[in-house]
A and B are shown apart, each in its own frame.
Chain A
Amino acid sequence: MRTEPNAISHAGGNSLEIRPLTGNEAIARGAWEAGVKVAAAYPGTPSTEIMESLAGYPAEDLHAQWSTNEKVALDVAIGASFAGRRALAAMKHVGLNVAADAFMSVTYIGAHGGLVIVVSDDPGIHSSQNEQDTRLYGVLATVPVLEPSDAQEALDMTRLAFELSEQFDTPVIVRTTTRLSHTRSAVVLGPRIEAAARGFSDKPSKNVMIPAHARLRHPALLVREEKLKEYLESAPIQRWEKSGVDFGVITAGTCYTYVREVLPEANVLKLGASWPLPEKLIERFCASVHRVYVVEELEPVIEKEVRSLGIQAIGKALFPRLGELSPELVRAGFETAGILEARPTAAPWTPEPMARPPVLCAGCPHMTSFNALRTVVDARVAGDIGCYTLSCLDPLRGIDTCVSMGSSIGNAIGMSKAGESKPVIATIGDSTFLHAGLPGLIDAVYNQANITVILLDNHITAMTGGQDHPGTGRTLRREPTHQVDYETLVRAVGVQWVRTVDSYDVAAMYQTLREAVAHKGVSVIISNRPCVLDPVKIKGPPLEVVAKDCNACQSCMNLGCPALTWSEQWYEGRHKVKIDASLCIGCTLCAQVCAMDCIKMPVAVVQ
């Protein structure tokens, strides 16, 4: 979902203005207030709206951009930091894996202009391929991790992160989760500080990571860690909320709100930074109570650190290590601990649940590409990340594997080299191809793999809600820019067989796919049609099923189009099909696959 442009005033003069903001919008606001000058991101749920919000602030204040991938985004931010300006990179949790190489080096280098990396985790896997815990990256890289618990803290901690970054010469992670990123609550807005330009950091021994320099930087890292710990012993973001009860709860982030929800009278140590930990503060807190519980989502990061101090804290024994926590899970944990009495649980009346997996949109151009795959070739298909990953479900059943951004082509090379007997095909979207698919394609040509790559070019980053990328010809701020020409690009890396096909031309798609698979070596099909939702919502006149001619064969239903459904009429005991006019965009794919030729444009439209 896109945030409305200019949803947030950028006047910023009135320091007492209060606005409802999502966590993501609050982070953007915090960065803007902190005087961020350069910001870059690759879209990824639940982090996408951070950069979209930042683009709502004036271009004179900051440069904001979509990068081709998270590593480039972080490199851009690091560059701005070298140049002495405050910089931010935003990404989802798995994006940090892509950026990890730069991240693990920049921690040695430190930050000249404040360098903040916002990473949005997805506990519960609402829209990701895993639920890794970013806090462990903080431990790995010796980088502080701030964890806001609501939108106000998201704003405040983002501002603070820039200050800490410059004060301690370190990149700083602000960690959010889906829940925080997408929860809206009231936030007090502040003015923008124009952070002074610090000039270029002209220190090769600090900024050029050759072994001799890196060996000297590593001890500096450990000193920095100690200084950070000392600061965090008494930092305002650490909050000890005292009460008379004899047990204590250590928590951070959104989990804090769950603890407060179920235990309003608890004795809580709320950590603003979940790494590194203030050991003395924790020891004092634990000494003041008889029992200590740690409530944190995903990995036992805080719990292990507390236990390493010799304190018998209880955490994952009561609160799950899997998925997203919730008030009821936190309550259940405290019930098991004997802190709360079990609530009387009358089993509620539960209607039989109906499955409603997300589906490709009516008229989605991906439908033909995958329908063709199923129909004309019996192939092994390496999938990739995007809307088209949904084609793994019935009825399209289009892909066999999906690993991570850009994996499809490498996976296909491996399958082919391993001797897979079926033709091997990789399917990859335009944005994903530019993100991490291109090196795979070059590898395929270089190693003379016998694979077909279908580049699903819908001219947008669709899954995350329609963001521009280098193939769209528009920047984050919707200004015109150079547009990647895929055919030229693909030929330049040495692919000999390239065809561009209109995704809505079913016959051409079938024929092209047959020829591509028959070609020995790397063949590339560019399946070309814009997304039906973004950048403009496409809606043509809906089609109709001529019910008397429908034999209920269900060929059209194989497209998985949500505008097609069963009518109340039957043929030989099977449901005839009808079209939901409010959803149908008139793409004609169903009419093209209908063997009975009974899907038509309404007569009025034809005339």
Chain B
Amino acid sequence: MSLASEVAESSQHSGGAAARGSREPVNVLIVGVGGQGVIMVSKVLASLCQAHGLQVKQSEVHGMAKRGGSVFSHVRFGKQVWSPTIPKGDVDILLALEWAEGLRWLPQLRAETGIFICDTKRIVPPFACLNRRQGAPMRYSRETPAEVIAHVAEAYAVDATRMADELGNERAANTVLVGALSTAMEFPLADWERVLAEFVPRKTVGVNLEAFRLGRSWIEEARRTAPDTSDPQGQGLAAAVVPSTVRVEIEAQWCKSCDICVKLCPERCLRLNSERIAELTDPAKCTGCRLCEWLCPDFAIRVHLQPAAAVA
């Protein structure tokens, strides 16, 4: 290069929009929770594409990866790849290592042709368990595999974690999913297995290759038969509970200001008032767990649960 390189129009972008169709890159979005192996799976795919002489860009944001947050990795490959990130709605294959993370990225999938491969494994964040009141649901995604399959062009809800567990290594769940992913692409089987063996820990090559083949055969089977929409991990998240109202009765004369209830209240809604007598600061916060009632050495506290229906 000598001067500011002025690239002639014919040499670089001769095709223009018309020829773009055939040159368009394949877009794979791999998602999961920090620590699951999203980056490992992307590296396997990127390495495979590279070995086939394709241009690859693999882009991830992993600043919070180890902190149990949402992790995603864009893998784009083809003759020419520009943007490191996949344009919204252009994801050809969405591979999810966790159920709710799969759902989170679903709107990015190509509406007509997108393929969704998702582990049904649920990793419930502590954030989903903040509402401790009676009958409160866990704040985890509510959509069932059946619902998702009904809305997506091609969707597979794979119980990959259980399958890997049965092979003797739960951590090979990723590889079950890579096996499923491999059926959506045209790379030779031997190449997949070679790259996979390079990236997994040496001791686990055997179980990972087994897991890979299991994922492949599972998805081939799923294509032939009706999808299995049972949701073994989704059981028991909701239960029929009639919420009660909570009333805390504190016998002021019996309280000796020992502070035990105040220090041990999980909702931190008790305090000692100006007379150093225990009192409830915020009745709305009390869940009626009875710790104060049970721990009070002087039996000064009674917790009453009354069915809400009776009150209303």
Contacts and interface: CB of A to CB of B under 8 A. Distances in A.
Interface of A: 1, 20, 45-46, 126-127, 150, 178-180, 182-186, 233-236, 238-244, 254, 257-258, 260-262, 264-265, 278, 281, 326-328, 331, 346, 348-361, 374-376, 387, 390, 393-395, 465, 533, 551-555, 557-558, 560-562, 564-566, 568, 570, 572-575, 582, 595
A561 B263 contact: no
Interface string B18-58: 00100000000000011000010001001100100001111
A466 to B, nearest CB: 9
Given A1-B62, A326-B87, A555 B291 contact: yes
Given A236-B2, A346-B111, A568-B236, A127 B63 contact: yes
B291 A551 contact: yes
Contact of A348 (B46, B47, B59, B109): B109
B168 interface: no
A240 B4 contact: yes
B4 A356 contact: no
Given A178-B61, A258-B82, A554-B266, A572 B305 contact: yes
A328 B108 CA distance: 11
Contacts of B83: 257-258, 260-261, 326-327
A557 B289 contact: no
B8 A242 contact: yes
B7 A565 contact: no
Interface string B278-305: 0000000001111100110000000001
A238 B6 CA distance: 9
B289 A179 contact: no
Contact of B82 (A260, A348, A355): A260
B4 A328 contact: no
A354 B33 contact: no
Q: Which 8 A-B pairs have the closest CB atoms?
A: A127-B63, A568-B236, A358-B67, A573-B134, A358-B69, A553-B289, A236-B1, A261-B83
Interface in B123-140: 124-130, 132-136, 138-140
A374 B84 contact: no
A533 B66 CA distance: 9
Contact of A554 (B3, B61, B287): B287
B203 interface: no
Nearest to B6: A240
A2 to B, nearest CB: 10
Given A179-B85, A355-B125, A562-B126, 6 more contacts: A184-B46, A239-B4, A257-B84, A354-B104, A551-B294, A558-B266
Given A354-B141, A582-B170, A242 B126 contact: no
B206 interface: no
Contact of B59 (A183, A353, A533, A566): A183
Contact of B63 (A45, A346, A555): A45
B239 to A, nearest CB: 6
B177 to A, nearest CB: 18
A46 B185 CA distance: 32
A326 B88 contact: yes
B198 interface: no
A348 B9 contact: no
Contact of B289 (A278, A326, A552, A566): A552
B201 to A, nearest CB: 12
A356 B7 contact: no
A239 B13 contact: no
Given A241-B7, A327-B87, A348-B106, A46 B58 contact: no
Contact of B106 (A178, A326, A349): A349
B85 A327 contact: yes
B5 interface: yes
B143 A243 contact: no
Greatest chain B CB density within 10 A among A233, A350, A374 is at: A350
Of listed A331, A351, A394, residue having the most chain B CB within 10 A: A351
B25 to A, nearest CB: 9
Contacts of A357: 69, 125, 127
Contacts of A127: 61, 63-64
A394 B127 contact: yes
Interface of A is mostly: loop
Nearest to A364: B67
A124 B151 CA distance: 31
A367 B81 CA distance: 44
A341 B103 CA distance: 30
A47 B128 CA distance: 32
B183 interface: no
A354 B128 contact: yes
Which of B56, B104, B106 has most chain A Cβ within 10 Å?
B104
A258 B85 CA distance: 9
Contacts of A126: 61, 63-64
Nearest to B103: A351
Given A257-B84, A348-B111, A354-B140, A573 B241 contact: yes
A575 B138 contact: yes
A448 to B, nearest CB: 31
A281 B56 CA distance: 32
Interface in B234-272: 235-237, 239, 241-244, 263-264, 266-268
Contacts of A46: 63
Contacts of B106: 348-351
B134 to A, nearest CB: 3
A428 B63 CA distance: 20
Nearest to B55: A186
17 contacts: A127-B61, A184-B46, A184-B59, A185-B58, A236-B3, A240-B6, A242-B9, A261-B82, A327-B86, A348-B109, A354-B100, A354-B140, A354-B141, A355-B128, A375-B268, A566-B129, A575-B129
A260 B13 CA distance: 10
Given A328-B87, A354-B104, A573-B244, A554 B132 contact: yes
B193 interface: no
B222 to A, nearest CB: 21
A200 B8 CA distance: 47
Given A1-B65, A349-B106, A352-B142, A553 B4 contact: no
Given A264-B17, A358-B68, A595-B291, A351 B135 contact: no
A354 B103 contact: yes
A355 B66 CA distance: 17
Nearest to A343: B89
Contact of A553 (B46, B82, B291): B291
Contacts of B60: 182-183
A461 B151 CA distance: 45
A361 B66 contact: yes
A254 B125 contact: no
Contacts of B103: 351, 353-354
B56 A186 contact: yes
A358 B64 contact: yes
A464 to B, nearest CB: 8
B268 A570 contact: no
A163 B135 CA distance: 67
B239 A570 contact: yes
Contacts of A150: 57, 84
